[in-house]
Structure 1
């Protein structure tokens, strides 16, 4: 057996999502049955100071020889980096990812990919021009749970999918939680609102079950009808958004399929954290697949068939295990001891693509990422939601 290929990562930004990703990244891939690649963090950068990057590397347990940088420009010039993980707010993704691509670096960029489809297209064009790997970090798509759901669909067990209902909402009490209006969830300068941060997961479940499971040559963009409720405190972010989609399909494939994708900052998918309420329901004439919240990190599915068959499955995230003294989580939350968060699956895919010479992800290519951005553009158009020009522009570089 050949030795695993080590992929050397640079981490661009040092916020909460970067911490979670990096701690997951450093877990031995063998704990999740991956033997062909492994990961090394060789550098991290903070836009505020080198000392913050140094503290980040220490907090995440990175090797002592990992480099700390006080600017993103310095990071992308590091010759030891194979790929950069972009972990800034989505308002900054275009500028940050373009910086990496222009410097000749492969990129895994957090979701939502960009603020609009024009930016996503520009990044894809630049990656093609430079012959670089580029992937949107929609981590949920790479979970074994998601692969199982897609396999059930393509196997025909529930028949052709006729309807998908997908929600990702949190009763966050935004006026109290983010009272100054500066948080990325509500700040228009950071492309705030429910749609791009939470609604991307609702659309992820719709697209990976209704669109991605179709033969590639048969996939067609959906018709979109949407309504938005504005967040009154800023009047420049969406509080609640509801999207109805109709996916064209041939009569042989089951005819047109419908989806409803919803998201909100005001109400919750599962009030009180009740995990018994499915947030996603994928329905066909022979049954349905239920996925239980949270939509971004689900750990339970239930297949219910019309013949009475029920398959209730739990999908716990692997990791170092109990007794390891190792913990991960997100933004103050903590998983069980030794349990990974699940961000390593997308890292494994990015690393595998580099080893294989692929330039995009296996379970969501760039064309699909762009299409989802086009859908969100149309949703914002129908809802009258516009962000400041400085974060909507495709000009580069722009100081944010």
Structure 2
């Protein structure tokens, strides 16, 4: 049996999402049945200080010889890095990803990919010119649960999907939680608002079920109608957004299909954390697939068929297991002992692509990431939401 290929990661930014990703990354891949690759972390960078990067590497259990950098420019010059995971706010993704690509590094960039489609296209063009791998880190697409849902659709089990409802909303009490207006969720300087941070997951479920499951040769962009409610305290971020999408489709494939994608930072998909109500409903003439919240990290599905049969499945996240003393989590919450968070699936895909020489992810290529950014551009246009020019620009470099 061949030894696993070791892929060397650099982590750009050291906040909460970077910590969760890196702890997952360093879990033994065989605990999730992956034997052809193994991950290691060789460097991390913090824009605030080298000390912060050193503390991060220690906190996540990185190898002792991993290097800490106090600037991103120094970091991308590290010849030991194969691929960079970018974990900054999406307002900074374009500048950070372009820096990495210019330095010849493969890139896995957190969602939302960029602030607008023009930036996403520019990154894709740069990656192609440099012959580098580039992928938006929409982790949910790589879950076995998501693969199962797409397989139910492509197998025809519920017939051609006719309608999808997808919500990802959180009652965050923004005036209390983000009272100073500086938090990335509401700060226009960081491209704040529900759409880019939360709504990307609603659109992820719409696109992976209604668009990605169609033959690549025939699928077409949707028509979009949107309503956006601005967050009054900052006046330049959305607090609640509703999107209606109509996907053209040949008559023999079921004809036009509709979707409603919703998001809010004022109200919750399921108040009080009650997860008994499906946040995602995928409907066809033969039945319905339900996915239970949270939309970004679901662990339960229900298939309801026209004949009355019901198939319920739980999808626990793998990991080192109970008794391992290993923990991960996000945002102040901690998963059960030994239970991974689920970010390793996208890391496995990115690392596998690097080893194989592929330049895009299997379950969301760059063209689809760009199309979703175009949809969000149109939503913002209809809602009259713009961000400061310095974070909308494609000019590189631009100091943020």
TM-score, normalized by the shorter chain, greater than 0.5: yes
Q: Is the counterpart of residue 134 in structure 1 residue 106 in structure 2?
A: no
1-structure distance, mates of 2:248, 2:18: 38
2-structure distance, mates of 1:133, 1:9: 13
Off by >4 Å, runs of 4+ in structure 1: none
TM-score, length of structure 2 as denominator length? 1.00
Q: How does 1:72-151 map onto structure 2 within 5 Å? A: 72-151=72-151
1-structure distance, mates of 2:187, 2:58: 30
**What is the CA-CA distance between 1:88 and the residue it aligns to?**
0.1
**What is the CA-CA distance between 1:331 and the residue it aligns to?**
1.6
**What is the CA-CA distance between 1:282 and the residue it aligns to?**
0.2
2-structure distance, mates of 1:315, 1:27: 19
1-structure distance, mates of 2:333, 2:392: 32
1-structure distance, mates of 2:7, 2:390: 34
- What is residue 359 of structure 1 aligned with on the other side? 359
- What is residue 53 of structure 2 aligned with on the other side? 53
1-structure distance, mates of 2:385, 2:313: 39
- What is residue 34 of structure 1 aligned with on the other side? 34
Query: 1:171-197 deviations in whole A, cap 9, x for unaligned?
Result: 000000000000000000000000000
Q: How does 1:12-23 map onto structure 2 within 5 Å? A: 12-23=12-23
- What is residue 169 of structure 1 aligned with on the other side? 169
- What is residue 71 of structure 2 aligned with on the other side? 71
Secondary structure, in 3 states, of the residue corresponding to 1:73? helix
- What is residue 333 of structure 1 aligned with on the other side? 333
- What is residue 382 of structure 2 aligned with on the other side? 382
2-structure distance, mates of 1:142, 1:51: 33
In the alignment, structure 1 segments of 5+ residues that lack a partner are none
2-structure distance, mates of 1:148, 1:233: 41
**What is the CA-CA distance between 1:356 and the residue it aligns to?**
1.0
**What is the CA-CA distance between 1:355 and the residue it aligns to?**
1.1
Query: 1:248-285 deviations in whole A, cap 9, x for unaligned?
Result: 00000000000000000110001000010100000000
1-structure distance, mates of 2:383, 2:91: 19
- What is residue 240 of structure 1 aligned with on the other side? 240
**What is the CA-CA distance between 1:309 and the residue it aligns to?**
1.3
**What is the CA-CA distance between 1:168 and the residue it aligns to?**
0.1
Q: How does 1:274-285 map onto structure 2 within 5 Å? A: 274-285=274-285
1-structure distance, mates of 2:180, 2:62: 34
- RMSD across aligned positions (CA): 0.3
- What is residue 313 of structure 1 aligned with on the other side? 313
2-structure distance, mates of 1:342, 1:75: 26
**What is the CA-CA distance between 1:47 and the residue it aligns to?**
0.2
1-structure distance, mates of 2:126, 2:84: 15
1-structure distance, mates of 2:264, 2:331: 19
Secondary structure, in 3 states, of the residue corresponding to 1:355? helix
**What is the CA-CA distance between 1:364 and the residue it aligns to?**
0.1
In the alignment, structure 2 segments of 5+ residues that lack a partner are none
1-structure distance, mates of 2:256, 2:16: 40
1-structure distance, mates of 2:15, 2:74: 18
**What is the CA-CA distance between 1:143 and the residue it aligns to?**
0.1
Secondary structure, in 3 states, of the residue corresponding to 1:56? helix
2-structure distance, mates of 1:89, 1:376: 17
Task: Give the count of matched residue pairs.
Answer: 400
Q: Is the counterpart of residue 208 in structure 1 residue 198 in structure 2?
A: no
TM-score, length of structure 1 as denominator length? 1.00
Secondary structure, in 3 states, of the residue corresponding to 2:303? strand
Q: Is the counterpart of residue 198 in structure 1 residue 182 in structure 2?
A: no
- What is residue 289 of structure 1 aligned with on the other side? 289
Query: 1:339-371 deviations in whole A, cap 9, x for unaligned?
Result: 000000000000110111100000000000000
Query: 1:277-330 deviations in whole A, cap 9, x for unaligned?
Result: 100000000000000000000000000001111110000000010001111000
2-structure distance, mates of 1:302, 1:45: 42
